[in-house]
Amino acid sequence: MTVFVDSIRRIFPRDKHARRYGQYWCHMFADTEAELHEMAEKVGLKRAYFQNDNVAHYDMTPPKRDQALRLGAVKMSTRVYLQKLIDMREERLQRKILDEIEESQREPEPDHPQTSIHAHRKEPYEKGEFGAILLDRPKR
């Protein structure tokens, strides 16, 4: 599993807090959210900066990006990462569909376990002259 950072781009942030950090930003993302949060903590990003609108990521300034790279993050273009996300989503969707098919093909389990009417007896059969005869056999 890996943490990635994309290229630095010049943007014009609308948020007043983001504007005070400059116009150059990049993103940090990972294979799992746990890895992403772990790296963010090492780099010094607050959990409140986490964004999960379609893609789980943190926005980063160039100094934080450099720090993440020193800690083992891998450079990746945004385009390559987005393709990777598409592939991961397709794989998850395929897995979900296969799981649903498998679930639909399973025999349903009974709501109540099938128990014999003789389960409470130690010896449900009585030996007769022609073999075993049920004790609760209906009489004619």
What does the pLDDT look like over 51-108, one tens digit per residue?
Answer: 887 778 898 989 999 999 999 999 988 788 778 778 878 888 888 898 888 888 877 6
Show Cβ contacts of residue 105 under 8 Å, excluding neighbours closer than 6 positions. none
pLDDT-derived band at 114 (thresholds 50, 70, 90) equals low
Contact 60, 25 (CB under 8 A): yes
pLDDT recorded at residue 38: 94
Place of tokens 């273009």: 77
- Output the average pLDDT for the chain: 78
Q: What is the pTM of this model?
A: 0.58
